Amino acid sequence: MADVLTFTDRGIYCPAGDFYIDPWKPVDRALITHGHSDHARPGMGRYLATTGTAPVMRHRLGTITLDTIPYGEVRQIGDAAVSFHPAGHVPGSAQIRVAVKGEVWVVSGDYKTVADGLSEPFEPVPCHAFITECTFGLPVFKWTPQDILARQINDWWAANAAAGRTSILGAYALGKAQRLLATVNPEIGPILTHGAIENTNAVLRNQGFALPQTTLVTAGITHKTHPGALVLATPSALGTSWARRFGPASTAFASGWMALRGVRRRRAADRGFIVSDHADWEGLNTAIKATGATRIFATHGYTSVFQRWLADQGYDAHIVSTDYHGEGFDQADEVEA
């Protein structure tokens, strides 16, 4: 049987439906898993994404030809039946299921398997072939449970507030920042946000996501006007003059990479919270098993290790070269708008 999806230098391609999934070069028709800049890129003829992803794509890509689809709805494109299913990565994110003549392939995009209190929880989709990320595909990555994470961040914030320090927390503008907003206890103090984060907050609030009250940092706002505040900033804003206005401060960074002491120290923040929008080792393995797939394609992350591990487990496992970044604070999505 012919492959449902093929891997080209433009992106993941479906010959039966003549469309691409998360392409990185301009194509006529693009199906998009989620709004991060390495997956939703400008320049496509027309786009198809979930209802939940559409607003942030419009916000980031401007005027585009964009059709939307709710989770679970099946749409026929050429000879392919296509549907989108929650990936649990960020609000609106999807895995894309493509069925051609009874053969089912699923593209995971980016995903995580634990509920974060904000994103639609990950749903395993049975398939023959599963195209998975493996950003954190090593057994050293185990995420802190959500309740312990909440306690860690709240304790840090409360201790800083009591000591007269501002708490500055670095996180990506789309997804991570809002997840943290949904995690912290807003009774501890005021929450201030960097512009890039506040713009995304507005988009998500418009969609009906309940986020605690936040205040955009503007010219007059400092630690004097908002003592004991939690400041949510993009990673690139940490350590800049923008961050220095908040007086004595403790800085923290929220990322899956914070699980590694070396990376935590290189980041030179006072604290590192282990929190990721990607699946950890156990999450990846559970998700793959739940699909029932026998063929696995690893796209980005620790691909060579993960492929060998999967092959050891009896999967028909392959590595696919793509232009996706996963979670790298060393990369461009650090400065995404």
Partner 1 sequence: MKDFAALFTRIDESTKTSVKTAALADYFQTATPEDRLWTIALFTGRRPKRTITATRLREWAAEVAGLPDWLFEESYSIVGDLAETIALVLPPPTLQSDQTLTHWITTIKTLSTLDDDARKAGILAAWDSLPNTERFLFTKLLTGGFRIGVSAKLITRALAQATGQPEPELTHKLMGNWTPDTTTWAHLIEADDPTADLSRPYPFYLAYQLDGFDDLGAPGDWNAERKWDGIRGQLIIRGGEHHLWSRGEDLMTDRFPEFAQLKDYLPDGTVIDGEVLAFAHEVPLSFNALQKRIGRKTVPKKLLAEAPVILMAYDLLEHAGQDIRHHPLQDRRAALDGLVAQTPQAAPLRLSASVPFETWDDLRTARDQSRNLNAEGLMLKRRDSPYLSGRKRGDWWKWKIDPLTIDAVMIYAQAGHGRRANLFTDYTFAVRDGNDLVPFTKAYSGLTDAEFREITAWVRKNTLQRFGPVRQVPAQHVFEIAFEGIQASPRHKSGVALRFPRMLRWRRDKPVQEANTLDDLKELLATFG
Q: Which residues bind partner 1 (CB under 8 A)?
A: 138-142, 257, 259-266, 268, 270-272, 302, 304-305, 308-309, 312, 321, 323, 328, 330-332
Shortest distance, CB of residue 252 to partner 1, whole angstroms?
9
- Rounded Cα distance, 219 and 245, in Å: 10
Please tell me what DSSP assigns to residue 256. Answer: G
Shortest distance, CB of residue 319 to partner 1, whole angstroms?
8
E strands in 203-244 = 215-216, 230-233
3-state secondary structure of 110: coil
Residue closer to partner 1 (CB basis): 36 or 226: 36
Shortest distance, CB of residue 11 to partner 1, whole angstroms?
14
Shortest distance, CB of residue 137 to partner 1, whole angstroms?
10
Shortest distance, CB of residue 108 to partner 1, whole angstroms?
20
Shortest distance, CB of residue 17 to partner 1, whole angstroms?
28
Shortest distance, CB of residue 323 to partner 1, whole angstroms?
7
Residue closer to partner 1 (CB basis): 213 or 321: 321
3-state secondary structure of 312: helix
Shortest distance, CB of residue 85 to partner 1, whole angstroms?
28
The residues, ordered by sequence, that sit 6+ positions from 281 with a Cβ below 8 Å of its Cβ are 136, 137, 138, 139, 140, 141, 142
Q: List the alpha helices (DSSP H) in the chain.
A: 54-61, 146-162, 176-183, 195-206, 241-244, 261-267, 281-291, 303-312
Residue closer to partner 1 (CB basis): 63 or 321: 321
Residue closer to partner 1 (CB basis): 85 or 325: 325
3-state secondary structure of 120: coil
* DSSP-assigned beta bridge partners for residue 81: 76, 99
Tokens standing for residue 138: 């090593």
Q: Which residue has the tokens 């009906």?
A: 208
- Rounded Cα distance, 236 and 102, in Å: 46
Residue closer to partner 1 (CB basis): 139 or 186: 139
- Rounded Cα distance, 335 and 337, in Å: 6
Alpha carbons within 13 A on the beta-carbon side of 195: 7
- Rounded Cα distance, 104 and 128, in Å: 5
